[in-house]
């Protein structure tokens, strides 16, 4: 007769019986040593669902936040870019120059040529007339 103990074809994972022993002991002792604490009916099923829902909702919120931040960043970059590109050239205008410009425009608009010449000094008139070619 063959010895069935030595020819057992079945195998178990390494350390299986040690772990099994420990697992059973742990579970039973945890239950025994809860010292009077109880939970509502079906609590552990309900809490699992709640945890999964909470985690999914947090994940969705994080994705939305990232999208908003990305778009805000792009919008801010575009704003800065266009602000720099379209800034008009402004040179500081001195007080005297602005007054002179005003006066020049006033005279050109409101005086005819004879009136303008009459405002010049005689010396200046001669200079202007002498600039013309002599026949």
Residues that bind another protein (CB under 8 A): 25-26, 29-30, 33-40, 43-44, 47-48, 50-52, 54-56, 58
For another protein, the closer of residues 35 and 83 by Cβ is 35
Nearer to another protein, 13 or 88 (CB): 13
Enter the DSSP assignment of 88: -
Query: For residues 95 and 92, what is the distance between their CA atoms, to the nearest angstrom?
Result: 10
Give whichever of 35 and 89 is closer to another protein, judged by the CB atom. 35
Write the CB contacts of 120 (distance below 8 Å, at least 6 apart in sequence).
Answer: 128
**Residue 70's closest CA among 78, 80, 58, 81?**
78
Task: Report, in Å, the least distance between residue 82 CB and another protein.
Answer: 37
Q: In angstroms, what is the minimal distance from the CB of 60 to another protein?
A: 12
């Amino acid at each position: 007769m063959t010895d069935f103990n030595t020819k057992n074809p079945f195998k178990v994972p390494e350390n299986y019986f040690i772990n099994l022993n420990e697992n059973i002991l742990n579970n039973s002792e945890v239950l025994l040593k809860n010292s009077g604490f109880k939970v509502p009916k079906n609590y552990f099923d309900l809490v699992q669902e709640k945890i999964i829902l909470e985690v999914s909702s947090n994940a969705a919120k994080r994705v939305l936040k990232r999208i908003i931040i990305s778009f805000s960043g792009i919008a801010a970059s575009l704003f800065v870019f266009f602000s720099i590109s379209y800034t008009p050239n402004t040179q500081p205008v001195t007080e005297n120059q602005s007054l002179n410009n005003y006066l020049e425009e006033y005279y050109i608009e409101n005086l005819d040529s004879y009136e303008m010449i009459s405002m010049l000094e005689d010396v200046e008139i001669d200079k202007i007339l002498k600039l013309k070619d002599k026949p």
